[in-house]
Amino acid sequence: MATTLEYIEYVAAQAVDCGNVRYRKMFGEYMVYVNDKPILLVCDNTVYVKILPCLGKLMVNAKASRMTGRRSIISSISTALN
């Protein structure tokens, strides 16, 4: 199942506080950019967070599978990028 437009728009809306957010369809799925940096990969309505050194401490307790706490993850990304 491919990512729906409704879902990618929802994910992008959650990341608005992180900076300039845009998404681009690539290979049938989406990459979400924050301040022109690729941060999130969205495949099959599942969000994957790029592993970045600046997120290490904030993501220490994050599950390495399907993302369920979208808001807490996005909040962590916003903190790390600002």
Each residue's pLDDT tens digit, 16-25: 888 899 999 9
d(CA 35, CA 44): 24
pTM higher than 0.85: no
- pLDDT tens-place string over residues 27-64: 889 999 999 988 889 998 888 887 777 777 777 776 65
- Which amino acid is it at 56? G
Does the domain at 5-71 match CATH 3.40.50? Answer given as no
- Residue 53 burial (10 A CB sphere; 0-12, 13-18, 19+): exposed
pLDDT at 74 (0 to 100): 52
- Residue 15 burial (10 A CB sphere; 0-12, 13-18, 19+): buried
- Which amino acid is it at 8? I
DSSP annotation of 67 reads: -
